[in-house]
Amino acid sequence: MMNSRRVQKFVGRPSATVTATPVIEVRTPRVWARLKFDGADANQSLARLDSLFPDSISTVGLDHRECIRVLVQSRKMGSSLDPLQLSRLKNQILRPCPQAVMIGFASITDPSKLDMSKAAEVTSALCGRRVGPAKSRMTAISADHRIKTLFPPPSISSRWPAFLREEADNFAPGFCRAMFYYASTILHHPFEDGNGRLARLIATSSLIKDGSIKNPTLPLTYILIMECRMDASLLIQLSEDGDWDGYISSMSRTIENYAEEFSKSKSLGVLKNVP
């Protein structure tokens, strides 16, 4: 229980004198009114990225380590990847079968209508094994596992689909709504494993449904994984202060920076094959 644990707020790297892993209680913030931030700049940036990376390998079904492996091997193979090499790279990296991602997209055509049963099937496909509802409140939210996080109990996590239905209309279609789906899934933590993969797939499905992007490739999923440390700290802050405008605007700036950097790059021939 929380009373038996020391709770700390994680800021930056833990000092060398810290002996215990920081424990943070994550709450699911409510949404009381339509947000002011409309995400228009982020939507434009996603569209630019979508046009720059039309043939990228989808990272929706990958965890952080797998995404890093894709990035490293793609760069090693250079800019001359042919379709056969792309296919081999997908099969080599993806632990779940490559078809699992597309099965997930076919199942989640409208995130607002998702239920626990369908979500469990999709999450199991993404993880390559049967995944059930979360049973324990303790898990790690950070990629380096230096933060132990106390998520809401199963009785609250199971209300995750209802939360999506009740609150989605408070967020503008496109990037804002996608980030709502993403953050809500992570913070509710409905399943024992694969919540990050499910969250990225739902967010990307939402972007495709809203017409923000055409392909389930690089624009959002890769950036969320590569910026996982920043994303984790923002999610924890969101759970503490409930500032959805602040969270989404911060993520928007990250998307805009990626779009600007990639647009200016002189090595798009190499970048084209980065997942």
Domain residue limits, the chain = 35-271
Radius of gyration of the chain (CA): 18
- DSSP-assigned letter for residue 145: S
CA distances from 99 to 66, 96, 207, 266, 275 (A): 16, 8, 20, 33, 17
**pLDDT tens readout for residues 190-244:** 999 889 889 988 998 898 888 888 766 655 776 776 677 788 889 989 999 999 9
CA distances from 209 to 45, 185, 204, 259 (A): 17, 18, 9, 21
Predicted local confidence at residue 269, as pLDDT: 44
Highest mean pLDDT among 40-54, 57-71, 72-86, 256-270 belongs to: 40-54
The correct CATH number of 35-271 out of 1.10.3290, 1.10.940, 1.10.1060, 3.30.1370 is 1.10.3290
Query: Phi/psi class of residue 171: alpha, beta or left (left: φ > 0; alpha: ψ in -120 to 50)?
Result: beta
Beta bridge partners of 240: none
- Average pLDDT (166-179) is 93
- Under 8 Å CB-to-CB from 128, ≥6 apart: which residues? 95, 96, 97, 100
Q: How confident is the model at residue 187 (pLDDT cuts 50, 70, 90)?
A: very high
| pLDDT higher than threshold 60 for residue 154 | yes
| pLDDT higher than threshold 90 for residue 71 | no
- Average pLDDT (139-146) is 61
Q: Which of 21-35, 36-50, 102-116, 216-230 has the lowest mean pLDDT?
A: 216-230
Chain-wide mean pLDDT for the chain? 74
| pLDDT higher than threshold 50 for residue 5 | no
pTM value is 0.76
Predicted local confidence at residue 229, as pLDDT: 76
Per DSSP (E only), the strands in the chain are 23-25, 138-140, 148-150
Do 206 and 181 contact (CB within 8 A), yes or no? Answer: yes
Q: What is the largest CA-CA distance in the chain?
A: 57
**pLDDT tens readout for residues 90-131:** 554 444 445 556 666 667 778 888 899 989 988 888 787 899
- Average pLDDT (132-151) is 74
- Under 8 Å CB-to-CB from 268, ≥6 apart: which residues? 52, 262
Predicted local confidence at residue 211, as pLDDT: 87
